[in-house]
Homo-oligomer: A and B are copies of this chain.
């Protein structure tokens, strides 16, 4: 599932989960699959899955409850600050990927 695009695996997984949350296929209150389960689904190591979940936790999209699972937060309040940091993260990523693509293209002249 995780592709070799130069985009690190833990961010690809975070992106995908974020997409599912934004898209509603993972609704507020829903639990994410367990980290072990996610590792299987994405064919990734447990470590990168933990990193991915950590990103979403930092972004405030998700709350982990020890012993239970990781749950999608209510998207209500955290409007601007979190959104902004997420957007900035996305912008940073796009810039990096663009730079990579551009350099690849220039090499092929």
> Which residues on A are within 8 Å of B, measured CB to CB?
4-5, 51, 54-55, 58-60, 63, 73, 76, 78-80, 83-85, 87-92, 94-95, 97-98, 101-102, 104-106
Contacts and interface: CB of A to CB of B under 8 A. Distances in A.
Copies of the protein in its oligomer: 2
Nearest to A101: B101
23 contacts: A4-B106, A5-B102, A51-B54, A55-B58, A58-B59, A58-B85, A60-B88, A60-B89, A73-B88, A76-B88, A78-B80, A79-B80, A79-B84, A84-B87, A87-B88, A90-B95, A91-B91, A94-B94, A97-B102, A101-B101, A101-B102, A104-B105, A105-B105
Contacts of A63: 92
